[in-house]
Amino acid sequence: MSLGNLKDVKKIRIILHIDFDYFYAQCEELRDPSLKGKPVVVCVYSARGGDSGAVSTSNYKAREYDVRSGIPIKLAKNKLKDVPDAMFLPVDNDYYSEMSDNAMNIVRKYTQKFELVGIDEAFIEVTEKLEHDFDRAKELAMTLKMELEKELRLTCSVGIAPNKLVAKIASDFQKPDGLTLVKPEEVKPFLMNMSVGKIIGVGKKTEERLNEMGAATIGELARINIYELTKEFGKKNGTYLYNAARGIDDESVVESESITQISRINTLKKSTNVVQEMLYDLQSLCKDVHGSVIEQDFSFKSVGVMLVLDDLSIKTKSRSLKSPSTNQDELFKTAKTLLEEAVGESQLLVRRLGVKVSELVSSKGQDTLSKFMTES
Ligand code: TTP
Ligand code: CA
């Protein structure tokens, strides 16, 4: 290999885009496993009452009936009128944020270069960590997917590519539960027949205009010269489209603000509903969470427990403290009270137990709770 080529290899990045499948609806299925197999439609009901409002998302069963994000609830009900087991549920943003925190904390463990781009989406860069090896990136993605499945029972789709643009298109390529690797030499053929609407930032209007210009696919877009594109869309957007058509994108993975919560989950040796039998695990989870809080110079203002019950449904409870704390004993006592309450409210055995702290405050006194960017 010539020195020139070696320099090029060094420049090539490995970026993963992780996108959770039918996220809100998947969270609902986790909380209530009896929903599995039924069409599930998560709805944002408007203040006008009745069925006014729009669909937030739906699971893949509901998508078979063409029920998707953004359509009116009334229309969704109409499409599913002959399906008696179709379920319409209201959004529960706090719960989805909590599931997102849990999921993203797992993703974050894989690299420092982590960028949160939505409640259920993140980019990570692993170029140096994996020494420029795309095959190792595929192994890492499989391990990550397995861990998310094992720890949280969540599925996601992952795209691996030399840049953010292609990684995002790749994660969408084999949904749900997908994994798509696009090596540098595969970028061009991968994009060729893809609709121009797949390019990040190309909405309905731009897509229509591009179609009128004879570019329905990215391959066709690549045949339009830069002058024509900048004339039509302006210098910035025209250049972006010109590069995107060639799979070129230099946007870096911008490390997201610090974490919003710290949590640990354990599978109990034996499922039980006797709090006394869970105290050893609770103590050790609190010790681990506390260790991590101290290591990162945080204090916490909220404590929570999460129980995975024998039917795999999830029960969570959390409580705010009077003031931010760094005290392990306070963490344990609060978690124990929450555990007692949660167990008291459920008939089922507890299979897995989790402890989390949130509303983290850094030692500098800054509130580090960063809000997610939601698309709705
Ligand atoms: P998406 O990732 O766009 O969709 P999704 O996760 O439901 O499905 P997919 O398997 O195709 O990725 O959005 C993430 C969540 O954001 C989604 O679960 C609900 C919410 N959302 C809205 O509330 N309104 C919307 O119009 C969209 C697109 C998403
Ligand atoms: Ca998603």
From 19, 69, 173, the mutation candidate for ligand 1 (largest count of ligand atoms within 8 A of CB) is 69
Going by pLDDT thresholds of 50, 70 and 90, the confidence category of residue 363 is low
Residue 180 clears pLDDT 90, i.e. is over it: yes
- Most confidently modeled of 5-9, 81-85, 361-365? 81-85
pLDDT at 142: 98
pLDDT at 96: 92
pLDDT at 3: 47
CA of residue 118 to ligand 2 center, whole Å? 9
Which of 160-164, 207-211, 296-300, 329-333 bottoms out in mean pLDDT, i.e. has the lowest?
296-300
Going by pLDDT thresholds of 50, 70 and 90, the confidence category of residue 369 is very low
Q: What integer is the mean pLDDT of 104-122?
A: 92
Q: What integer is the mean pLDDT of 160-165?
A: 98
- Percent of the residues in the chain that have a pLDDT greater than 90, as a whole number: 79
Q: Are 84 and 39 in contact (CB under 8 A)?
A: no
Kindly report the protein residue whose alpha carbon is nearest to atom 7 of ligand 1: 22
Q: What is the pLDDT of residues 184-242, one digit of tens each?
A: 999 999 999 999 999 999 999 999 999 999 999 999 999 999 999 999 999 999 999 99
Does residue 22 have its Cβ closer than 6 Å to ligand 1?
yes
Residue 116 clears pLDDT 50, i.e. is over it: yes
Q: What integer is the mean pLDDT of 58-70?
A: 97
Residue 281 clears pLDDT 70, i.e. is over it: yes
Cis peptide before 184 (omega within 30 of 0): no
Give the 3-state secondary structure of residue 107.
Answer: helix
Q: What integer is the mean pLDDT of 127-139?
A: 95
Going by pLDDT thresholds of 50, 70 and 90, the confidence category of residue 340 is very high
CA of residue 104 to ligand 2 center, whole Å? 13
Residue 375 clears pLDDT 60, i.e. is over it: no
The DSSP bridge partners found for residue 267 are 352
pLDDT at 331: 98
Backbone φ/ψ region at 22: left (φ over 0), alpha (ψ -120 to 50), beta: left
Q: pTM, whole model, 2 decimals?
A: 0.75
CA-closest candidate to residue 150, choices 267, 66, 54: 267
- Percent of the residues in the chain that have a pLDDT greater than 70, as a whole number: 93
DSSP 256-311: PPPPSEEEEEEEEEEEE--GGGGHHHHHHHHHHHHHHHHHTTEEEEEEEEEEEETT
pLDDT at 8: 64
Does residue 375 have its Cβ closer than 6 Å to ligand 1?
yes
Does residue 23 have its Cβ closer than 6 Å to ligand 1?
yes
Kindly report the protein residue whose alpha carbon is nearest to atom 11 of ligand 1: 22
Residue 110 clears pLDDT 90, i.e. is over it: yes
Q: What integer is the mean pLDDT of 142-150?
A: 97
User: Which residues have C-beta within 8 Å of that of residue 85, sequence separation ≥ 6?
Assistant: 38, 39
Query: How many angstroms separate the first and last alpha carbons of the chain?
Result: 49
DSSP 33-89: GGGTTS-EEEEEE-TT-TT-EEEEEE-HHHHTTT--TTSBHHHHHHHTTT-TT-EEE
Q: What is the pLDDT of residues 250-269, one digit of tens each?
A: 999 988 866 678 888 889 99
pLDDT at 258: 60
What is the Cα–Cα distance from 190 to 200, expressed in whole angstroms? 16
Does residue 134 have its Cβ closer than 6 Å to ligand 1?
no
Q: What integer is the mean pLDDT of 310-327?
A: 92
Kindly report the protein residue whose alpha carbon is nearest to atom 23 of ligand 1: 56
The reply to whether 121 belongs to the active site is yes
Which of 171-185, 270-284, 285-299, 356-370 bottoms out in mean pLDDT, i.e. has the lowest?
356-370
Kindly report the protein residue whose alpha carbon is nearest to atom 28 of ligand 1: 69
Q: What integer is the mean pLDDT of 102-120?
A: 91
- Across the chain, mean pLDDT equals 91
More confident residue, 225 or 365: 225
